[in-house]
Each structure stands twice: as structure tokens, then as C-alpha cells.
A and B are shown apart, each in its own frame.
Chain A
Amino acid sequence: MPAVVIENVHKRFGDNEVLKGVSLSVEAGQVVAIIGRSGSGKSTLLRCINGLEMCQSGRIEVAGHVLDQDPKHLRELRKDVGIVFQSYNLFPHLTVGENIMLAPRLAKGLGTAEIRKLAVEVLAKVGLSEKFDAYPDNLSGGQQQRVAIARSLAMQPKVMLFDEVTSALDPELTGEVLVVMEDLAKAGMTMLLVTHEMNFAKNVADVTVFMHQGKIWEMGTSAELFAAPKTPELRNFLSAGVH
């Protein structure tokens, strides 16, 4: 059974239809990159998957949860679906450790010892063990984003969403975040990522989806799609170089 199923999803903001019937299916362990110009609806699609935006019609099923408006169902879904944002969104009043341990304690009700072990573990995964007691403000952007990834991992999600996670970073800091994501992909995590990093999509993602004007314009294995784009829009997009 696929980990993510999106069927004919429509989403409007007022008069502006951002998603015009999007369908997509992601197998467990697959890494899917979503590329496209700003305004193509790629971030909205990602945010619909964990219910940050509610689509007006269509059906979304993630990690066995069917998306609906019920806050209880939504919380159950979000225990299994992590998201990492462009602007990190760490909680500035909590230390790195507290940021990571908050949700496992509150949402999953795990015991203190177990949570601490978990936090140490995920922090090691992103290579920031020594920052357990630091505050987010004292970390670089790249470090903050890695903590944000660790915070999501601590919920032991089945699916991870990445929303342009390197776009706010200085070029020299994007590498350290991409390395962490690549490790995750290798470890078999199911990942959907909206990205401007074409090399990352080409080399790490199994499948790349090109969105254009609210629709999936073209998709295929990353190798094929980048080597031989079929539509003029994608060719244009890839050759423009600036995304």
C-alpha cells in the first residue's frame, strides 16, 4: 500500500485556484522531489498533506490516515507525518533539547527517560549532540534547520515533508542540511520535498514531480526527467537555471 495517496485535489484561495486537480501516489521508502516555479502550487500541495491547508475537494491519505477536518484525526495523522519548514520555526524560548522533547512528551505521552534517549539519538543523527542545551538563537541557520529535522524525527514519523528547507540558508550552509536529508533518504524514510536544489532532486530523489499552473505537468524517475524533459515548460524551467 502506498504511504501517500493524493487523488484529484483542488485548492482555492478566494478566486485563485492554486491546485487544479492533483493526483500523486508515493510508495513507502520513496523519495519524491517536487519542483516548479513559485506560485505553481508546490508548497500548497505539501501543506495540504499534513492539513496545514485544507483542500476543497479530493482525497488525501497519508500513512494510513485519511485527511479530514476533525482536529483529533488531524493530530493522529500528524503524529505520523513530520514537516520541516523553510524558516525552521524552532521555539525560541526552549533549548534544543526541549524543542525536541516537547512533542513526544505532550502528543505521544512517552516517559521522561525514553524521551531523553530519543532526543540524544536524533540529535546525534543530525550531528549536533553538543548543542542539547543551546538556545536556537545561538545556532547558525543550518544548525537550526538540522535541529528542526531532529525535532520532527523525534516523533518517529512514517512520512517526512520538507518545504524548501534550504531556501532561507546561505549557500555555504545548505550542504550540511542536504547531507542530513540524504542520510535520511538512504535510511529508507518516505520523503516528499519541495526544493530548488536541482542537483539534490536529480541525485537523491527517486521520483521528481514538476508542477506548473496548479497541476502536475510532468513526472517520472529523476534520472529520466532531468535527462529528457518532455514538455517545453519543464525544459524552459530547467534551462533557466534560476529557480
Chain B
Amino acid sequence: MATFGFPEMMFILRSAGWTLLLTALAFTIGGIMGGGLAVLRLSQSRILRNIAAGYILVIQSIPVLMVLFMSYYGLSLFGIDLPPFLAASASLAVYCSAYLAEIWRGSIQSVPFQQWEASSSLALTRAQQYRYVILPQAVRVSLPPTVGFLVQLVKNTSIVSVVGFVELSRAGTLVNNATFQPFKVFTVVAIIYFLICFPLSRLSRHLEKVMHAGRRH
């Protein structure tokens, strides 16, 4: 039986890199989807609003694990065969999009409606209102919860091994299967997760404090 030595440690660290990449890609794709959903959720069309609300409700009411399975098997059912990294990212992006959409919808709605009135009275189009008046203010509000959500995302990347991708958690499992030193192996894995997540949690809390201190209006 192998012991938990330098090569195993390096393997785990490399996999932590994949966890970060996975998070980044899922957040990027999920962010684009989530931004679109947030705007749909606030659209003037009732049908579009309801579709977006339904999507968000469903994704938030089922396990992330099921989101992963459904996206993964859903993709393959439509004949789309992605390599594991992309499949994992795409599946996580679906999960990510619903939560980001909800966070960002809240941020957009936190901008007083008078800002909409004032800008529309100045003959701006809806797109211009979003781009120049509403979003710059909403982004500030959205930063703390968005960074907070990143923590959730990092943690949830741990379950993408179900679609066959080796990231930090899967690497830990593989090393544990080879060495059978679960305390050591999973403690190292947990510490790495903690080192990624804890600073993000603190940053989120810090941003919240800064925002409350410098609140305008």
C-alpha cells in the first residue's frame, strides 16, 4: 500500500488547481446565464418573468447533485458529448445561474424606482437605463452576496466527480483509496478548501461592512 507522500500531495494540489478553474468557468458561464435570467425576471413581459421565475424556483428546489445529473444526461441526450471538464463546468453553470440571477435581481431591485423614472424622463432607452444608471448602482450592492456565493460554488464543485471529473475532492478520494489514510488525506483536502473559501467569506463580510458604512441615500 502506498503512503501519503510528496507525489500524492502534488496530485492533490494540482487537482485544487482544477477546482479553481472549474469554479472560474462555471462562474463565468453561470454569470452570463444568471445576468440574462435576472433581466428576464424583471422584464416587462409577464410570460418571460414567469419562465425565469420558474427556472430559478426549480433549480433552487432540487439538490445540486440532481442539477448536475440532469444537465449532464440532458446534454448527452441531445447528442452533445462534452469532455468531463466542460460537462462539469456547464452543469455547475446551470446551478450557478439560478442563484446569481436571484442575487442580482435583488440588487437591481434595490436601486430606487425613482432612478428608473428620472432616467426614462430623460429619454433614455431601457438598455441605456440599465447600462448607465441602474447596473452601476446595482453592482455595488451585489458584490458582497456574489462573493459569498462564490464560496458556495467552490464547495459545490466537490460533487462533480459524479460526471467523471477529477478535482480536489475526487483526488482526495483516489489518494485515500490508495493509501487508506483518510484522516490525513481528507484533512489536507479540507484545509485546502478552507484556504480558498475562508478568505472569500471574509472578503464578502468586509464588503458588506464597507457598503453599510458608505451607504448613499
Residues of A at the B interface (CB closer than 8 Å) are 50, 52, 71, 75-76, 78-79, 82-83, 85, 87, 89-93, 102-103, 106-108, 137, 151-152, 155
Contact = CB atoms under 8 A, between A and B. Distances in A.
Contact of A137 (B115, B117, B132, B216): B216
A108 B122 CA distance: 10
B61 interface: no
Interface stretch (B33-41, B72-80, B123-131, B198-206): B123-131
Interface string B118-150: 111111111010001100110010000000000
Given A85-B114, A106-B128, A92 B216 contact: yes
A107 B124 contact: yes
A106 B132 CA distance: 9
Chain B interface secondary structure, helix, strand, loop or mixed? helix
B114 A50 contact: no
Contacts of B114: 85, 87, 89
5 contacts: A75-B124, A78-B122, A87-B114, A91-B119, A102-B124
A91 B126 CA distance: 16
A89 B123 contact: no
A67 B217 CA distance: 33
Contacts of A152: 122
Given A91-B133, A92-B137, A103 B115 contact: no
Interface in B179-207: none
B123 A79 contact: yes
B136 to A, nearest CB: 5
Interface of B: 114-115, 117-126, 128, 132-133, 136-137, 140, 216-217
A106 B133 CA distance: 12
Contacts of B126: 71
A107 B123 contact: yes
Interface hub of B117, B136, B140 (most chain A Cβ within 10 A): B117
Contact of B122 (A76, A93, A103): A103
A85 B117 CA distance: 10
A162 B123 CA distance: 17
A103 B217 contact: no
Given A52-B120, A102-B133, 9 more contacts: A75-B125, A85-B114, A89-B115, A93-B137, A102-B124, A103-B122, A106-B124, A107-B124, A152-B122
Contact of A102 (B117, B121, B132, B217): B132
